[in-house]
Amino acid sequence: MIKAKSQPRILLLEDDLALAEVMSELFAEVGAITEAVPSIGGAIRAMRSFLPDLIVADLRLADGNGIDFVEYVRQREEGRAIPIIAVSAVVDKSTIATARRKGVDEYLIKPFQPAELLAVIRNHLQRQKAIAKLASREAHIQTVKMLANVIEARSKYTRGHSERVRRYALMLGEVLGWSDDEMVFLEFGALLHDIGKIQIPTEIIEKAGPLTPEEQALIETHPQVGAEMLRDVEHLKPVIPYVLYHHERCDGSGYPFHLPCEEIPPEGRLIAIADSYDAMVSNRPYREAKLKEVALAELMRGAGVLYDEEMVRAFVNLMQEGAPELHGRKGDDLR
Ligand SMILES: [Fe+2]
């Protein structure tokens, strides 16, 4: 199937050629390319060569009833979600009801106002675009989740951590009023924040006793290793600050750059809270999980010292107001 990526394509089934030309010009006003066909046979042939973003169909045609074409489209897997707009001079209620039952989304009665048709077209094209965007984002998220799972599966202490951080981070981003675009990258950032741990040997991640200075130094490379891994992935570039700065702390005691609060990007400040909280309420190889109240009190003590003050307050409020507990007591480490 060939499908234009940038411009939406409309399949127009209309046997009045003069009207088809006027409508094609109209659709160009919303940036769409129109493929006009005068017959049902032609429309079926067109559907075999490309997948339209939208279909506009006259229902009374020389070679049959347009409803037959609507049925043909709806029976095909790839045709189920295409918006279909019927344009017809037939006004009786049963015809309109049948058209809707067979899968027509909108029914415009001829003669119609060009502005009316354009509004309907614009509305459906925008929805199609939004749906496609969501579907592609969901597909990306699934792939990224798989990547996070691969890294975490090496140790029972890291299993499920990124998914919980993702959910805590999204809750926090939402109460902080982050924009939709920011939330998209926040989700990826939360899932990928520890991706650099792929280079840390499992024995170190699972070590029960204190780490040697060399082992600690190795652990502290993971933000930069992760950022380096994402460097060449164009659509994940905005995720780098989450990976690179999630271990920075406001008093400069974090790593890798020992930045003070005002120099830590908000992405890093937010993940630091979600990440720390999940680590506190989970078992670590070297200690038991803390109770929720104890962890929240510890976060509050770190407000403005380790963590962004406003973000910590928002998070603690959120958790006290009954946000769901996500950790499974399986444990995690925050080294
Ligand atoms: Fe980390």
Strand partners, 11: 35, 55
Q: Phi/psi at 83 (nearest 5 deg)?
A: -65, 135
Output the CA 113–ligand 1 centroid distance in Å: 59
Mean pLDDT of 250-267: 96
Q: What pLDDT score was predicted for residue 288?
A: 82
Question: 270 C-alpha vs ligand 1 centroid, how far in Å?
Answer: 13
Residue pLDDT, tens place only, 111-122: 888 899 999 999
Residues in the chain: 335
**What mean pLDDT do residues 180-196 have?**
94
CA–CA dist 203, 112 (Å, integer): 72
Using alpha carbons, list the distances in angstroms from residue 87 to 46, 95, 101.
19, 12, 16
Query: Is it the case that residue 51 has pLDDT exceeding 60?
Result: yes
Please give the distance, rounded to the nearest whole angstrom, from the Cα atom of residue 137 to the centre of ligand 1.
Answer: 24
C-alpha of residue 317 to centroid of ligand 1, in Å? 24
User: For 262-276, how does the pLDDT look when each residue is reduced to its tens digit (9 = 90+)?
Assistant: 999 999 999 999 999
Under a CB-based contact definition with an 8 Å cutoff, are residues 274 and 169 in contact? yes
Across the range 71-88, mean pLDDT stands at 93
197 is catalytic: yes
Q: What is the DSSP string of 165-229?
A: HHHHHHHHHHHTT--HHHHHHHHHHHHHTTGGGGGS-HHHHT--SPPPHHHHHHHTTHHHHHHHH
Per residue in 156-175, pLDDT (tens digit) is: 777 889 999 999 999 999 99
The predicted pLDDT at position 111 comes to 86
For the segment 246-267, the average pLDDT, to the nearest whole number, is 97
Residue 82: band (very low, low, confident or very high) from pLDDT cuts 50, 70, 90: very high
How much is the pLDDT for 197? 92
Cα angle 113-118-122, degrees, rounded to a multiple of 5:
155
* pLDDT for the residue numbered 206: 85
CA dihedral 161, 165, 167, 170 (to 10 degrees): -160
Q: How far is the CA of 261 from the centre of ligand 1 (A)?
A: 18
Marked catalytic residue, from 3, 110, 133, 197 = 197
How much distance in Å is there from the Cα of 240 to the middle of ligand 1?
13
Residue 209 region by backbone torsions, left for phi larger than 0, else alpha for psi between -120 and 50, else beta: beta
Per the prediction, the chain carries an average pLDDT of 90
Range 129-141 average pLDDT = 86
For residues 188 and 141, the answer to whether their CB atoms sit within 8 Å is yes
CA of 185 to the centre of ligand 1 (A): 17
CA of 271 to the centre of ligand 1 (A): 9
User: What is the CA(193)–ligand 1 centre distance, in A?
Assistant: 6
pLDDT at 256: 97
Pick from 41, 94, 44, 33: which is nearest to 63 by CA? 41
pLDDT confidence bin for 134, thresholds 50/70/90: confident
- Domains with residue ranges and CATH for the chain: 9-128 (3.40.50.2300), 153-320 (1.10.3210.10)
For ligand 1, the distance from its centroid to the CA atom of residue 134, given in whole angstroms, is: 28
What's the rounded Cα separation, in Å, for the pair 61 and 63? 6
DSSP β-bridge partners for residue 303: 307
Residue 15 C-beta-side C-alpha neighbours within 13 Å: 14
323 C-alpha to ligand 1 centroid (Å): 23
Which token pair is 210?
């204190």
Model confidence pTM above 0.75: no
